[in-house]
Amino acid sequence: MASAGGEEQYDFIWKVVLVGDSGVGKTNLLSRFTRNEFNMESKSTIGVEFATRYYRGAVGALVVYDISKASSFENLDKWLGELSEHADPFCCIMIVGNKVDLKHLRAITADAGREAQLLIHRNLRTGQHKCRRSIQQFVS
C-alpha cells in the first residue's frame, strides 16, 4: 500500500463477503472492523436478496450466526448452500459465532460452532456437505 496524491493506492484488494441471517450482526462487524464503531440501535438488514454476482471474485466469506439464536445457526445450512452454488470453489469460508457478550442467552455451544468450522476446513466440498449434516443434527 502506498499513498500518492492524497489518495490511498493498493497493490492488492481482496473481496470478502459477509453472509448470514438478518440481525446476526454483519453490518456491525463491518463497521467495527472499518471504523471501530458499534451501534446498538442499528436496523437489521432485511430482505436483501443478493444477486449471485455479489459472490463472484470473493476470496473469503464470513458466514455469521448469532450464538443466542438457534435459527441463525440452523440457517448456516442455507448460507453454505448459497456459497457452494455461487462462490468460487477456493473461497475461504469462516464461520463466525457473533454476540458472544450475550453469554446468558447462549443457545449454540462454542463446540457446535467449532465443529462446523472444522468440518468445512478439512475438505471444502465434502466438508461442506458434512457440515450441513452436522448442523442439522445439532438442531434436530
Alpha-helix runs per DSSP H in 36-75: 70-74
Q: Compute the half-sphere exposure of residue 72: CA atoms within 13 Å on the CB side of its CA.
A: 24
**Between 27 and 134, CB nearer to ligand GDP:** 27
**Between 1 and 46, CB nearer to Mg ion:** 46
Q: Please pick, from the candidates 15, 16, 23, 27, the single residue that binds Mg ion as defined by CB under 5 A.
A: 27
**Between 25 and 127, CB nearer to ligand GDP:** 25
By CB under 6 A, residue 27 contacts ligand GDP? yes
Picking from 32, 5, 6, 7, the residue whose alpha carbon sits closest to that of residue 18 is: 32
By CB under 6 A, residue 69 contacts ligand GDP? no
Helices first, then strands: H and E counts in the chain: 5, 5
CB of 28 to Mg ion, least distance (A): 8
Picking from 101, 134, 129, 98, the residue whose alpha carbon sits closest to that of residue 115 is: 134
**Applying CB under 6 A, which residues contact ligand GDP?**
22-28, 39-40, 42, 44-45, 98-99, 101-102
